[in-house]
Amino acid sequence: MTPPLIGITLHSHTDPDRADLDLLINLIAQGVERAGGLPIFIPFGLSAETLQALHARLDGVLFSGGGDVDPSLYALERHPAMGGVDAERDRVEIALARWAVDERKPFFGICRGSQVINVALGGSLYRDLSEAAGAGRHSFAPEFPHGFLAHAIKVEEDSRLAEILGRPVLAVNSMHHQALRQVAPGLRVTAYAPDGMVEAVELPEHPFGLAVQWHPECLPDAPEMRRLFEAFVEAAGKRGRG
């Protein structure tokens, strides 16, 4: 049986955190491979027509972590704490997110991935968690290892995420300074941090439309994190066979 083809979005070579993101993107590819998928990186600089043709060949799309989404896309200006904004990455990922939703193609977002999906569908972000009253600390890199379990999350019952993880509460890592503010129409929040920040969203009635704020690729030995990749790749495989 041919493994499902999973497109993984990339960060720019000019991103200030490129060395760290290179490590994370390789861990994501390994997570996809371990789950039975065939990972392929989606390059920048493609025309809209070529990008759409590539998207048509994919069985699933994974939106990886990285720099901040341009706040002009949700009607705000730059914040001093923002970094790694890349217009080309935003263009590529927003197009892919909208196509995946419209065409009911399985997609999975990680960290920035959850943020860009929310923006693509009409939501907004806290440009920095200093804007969110009562927000706790969520950025633990590089002071702590990527796999450092920073805080717990509470998973909503009767959600796809709860079904996959099999636990209502679990500890996750945390490497972000932004978070979802206004959740896009149609997305359901399915996990929260103790301070109320959104930790996961999903698209009900979609074959697989899910995004998390933490980095499951950095926790490969945790069965719950492996199941996230497995559930995504399984959904992509069903589409490919369909």
87-118 tens-digit pLDDT: 999 999 999 999 999 999 999 999 999 999 99
Read off the tokens for 62. 């994974």
Contact status, residue 230 vs residue 37, Cβ threshold 8 Å: no
Q: What average pLDDT does the segment 51-77 reach?
A: 97
Can 111 be counted among the known catalytic residues? yes
Residues in the chain: 242
pLDDT score recorded for residue 112: 97
The residue annotated as part of the active site, out of 151, 215, 218, 230, is 215
What is the value of pTM for the model shown? Answer: 0.97
Q: Are 117 and 97 in contact (CB under 8 A)?
A: yes
Domains of the chain: 5-241 (3.40.50.880)
| pLDDT > 70: percent of the chain | 99
Report which of 54, 64, 58, 57 is spatially closest to residue 30, judged by C-alpha positions. Answer: 64
218 is catalytic: no
Q: How many whole angstroms separate alpha carbon 107 and alpha carbon 114?
A: 10
- Is pLDDT above 90 for 239? no
The answer to whether residue 218 scores a pLDDT higher than 80 is yes
Task: Report the pLDDT value the prediction gives residue 182, as an integer from 0 to 100.
Answer: 98
Decide if pLDDT at 28 tops 90: yes
Q: Which of 199, 202, 217, 230 is catalytic?
A: 217
